[in-house]
Structure 1
């Protein structure tokens, strides 16, 4: 009898553990009403369902990133996506009231996609385009990486066994990709690394093709150069990762 109870308990624990990192999503769309010459906001992201720690972590992280993207004056106290949308529209109305000659409607488009998922890791990329006046808008990507088992967001220092060693390796690949001499200054061909030395981008994440390092416009180059991306196949980067992946 004891042995049957023990087996049942073990099976229950295994199912419970497996359930902790199981995920399902529903599409979430938040948008302003369509009208001519109006400020527009459109947000389309995957929303994690259920009440698990992981679901709450993912939804909270996505919400925080999007609120920050829509925060024009850095004084918004928006607590959710609906309030962030309304604050963006309100900020435009406030500014256009003061400067009617520069009242071209603003635009914000944010789309979230899952770029990688297995039993250990899930990565969601937020692609955004924000226009708040001027000659052009600003487009960028944000990668959010999550540990599925522990239900936590992973930051840059959480991804590597030794961050400095990886940075050295990434610089070698970056120089090769961008045709920068190995023994020359990192800005030798026109890049604009502020410290005159290589550094990792703020955004990096798991994709099906490998670990993607994404430098936003202006981060290391001019706006005209656009974003700079370095994708390292897992077969090359796995030795540096705390969460290695099958090539």
Structure 2
């Protein structure tokens, strides 16, 4: 009687173990079969001739295709709407496109008034394109390059990065990658000093924290050569200094990279 009572729990454990193994295999194979293609939203006013007044808006963004794409789609849409400081009811590409069209049209009347005041031959534009910087079985990194001219003294441009753990269907921050953020900041500060502060006078070109300490950038990306820290214009220096990139090899970070990401990145 006692042996029969033991069989049922053991069988239950075996079923749960098999179900978990099956799930992990589905997730793993799903991330490897997932692909990305470019999708876009385009809005134009004028643009009939090379010298005509023109307002052009072109947004390009990655569209996931394959098993698990709906979860990754939500991450991409949420990231873009947060980056643009917009909000939509549903986190899918149909609603994203509606938002981008409405966003474009909101500038249309301003452009018409601008042309009336300053004459023809002027061009306004908003452009956003993306590049896939890294793709492994588990990880993908996209870099968005966005630029615009909307009647100011000069055009503006910047970069935004999206790093995704495909198996966890999760957007990654620096705290997800490293086990010791204080040590990571020290490594980054050392790399920044060696790259940009070779002379004491160079420090006056960059803006640090109020206490003079090193500041991590808002944007970072995973690449095939290392972790890329990216400071956009005006983030730590003047517009004339431009955007600033700092590449840290994974070999310098291996002691604090979380194991699952170290295994994924060490072979690059």
Q: Which TM class, normalised by the smaller chain length?
A: 0.7 to 0.9
Whole-Å Cα distance in 2 between the matches of residues 191 and 67 of structure 1? 26
Secondary structure of the residue aligned to 2:255 is helix
Question: Alignment partner for residue 207 of structure 2, among 176, 192, 201?
Answer: 192
Please list every run of 5 or more consecutive structure 1 residues that lacks an aligned counterpart in the other structure.
none
User: Partner of 1:155 in structure 2?
Assistant: 173
Deviation at 1:116, TM superposition (A): 0.7
Aligned length: 235
Aligned pair 1:19/2:35, yes or no?
Answer: no
Tell whether the 8 Å contact from 2:163 to 2:222 is kept in structure 1 after alignment.
yes
Whole-Å Cα distance in 1 between the matches of residues 20 and 205 of structure 2? 60
User: Partner of 2:187 in structure 1?
Assistant: 169
**Which structure: greater helix fraction?**
2
Question: Alignment partner for residue 74 of structure 2, among 47, 54, 57?
Answer: 57
Please list every run of 5 or more consecutive structure 2 residues that lacks an aligned counterpart in the other structure.
1-10, 90-94
With over 3 angstroms needed to count, the CA separation of the structure-2 counterparts of 1:67 and 1:51, relative to structure 1, is farther
Q: After TM superposition, where is structure 1 displaced by more than 6 Å over at least 4 residues in a row?
A: 8-11
Aligned pair 1:101/2:117, yes or no?
Answer: yes
Deviations 1:35-91 (A, max 9, x none): 4422111112220124625423343245425644xx7xxxx8795234323323322
Deviation at 1:99, TM superposition (A): 8.7
Whole-Å Cα distance in 2 between the matches of residues 171 and 216 of structure 1? 17
Deviations 1:114-172 (A, max 9, x none): 10111221111111112222121111111111111110111232222111211111111
Aligned pair 1:39/2:50, yes or no?
Answer: no
Whole-Å Cα distance in 2 between the matches of residues 40 and 145 of structure 1? 29
With over 3 angstroms needed to count, the CA separation of the structure-2 counterparts of 1:231 and 1:9, relative to structure 1, is same
Tell whether the 8 Å contact from 1:217 to 1:225 is kept in structure 2 after alignment.
yes
Whole-Å Cα distance in 1 between the matches of residues 232 and 252 of structure 2? 24
Aligned pair 1:114/2:129, yes or no?
Answer: no
Deviation at 1:191, TM superposition (A): 1.2
Whole-Å Cα distance in 2 between the matches of residues 60 and 178 of structure 1? 35
Whole-Å Cα distance in 1 between the matches of residues 99 and 107 of structure 2? 12
With over 3 angstroms needed to count, the CA separation of the structure-2 counterparts of 1:175 and 1:129, relative to structure 1, is same
Backbone CA RMSD of aligned residues: 3.1
Deviation at 1:224, TM superposition (A): 0.5
TM-score by length of 2: 0.75
Higher Rg of the two aligned structures: 2
Secondary structure of the residue aligned to 1:229 is strand
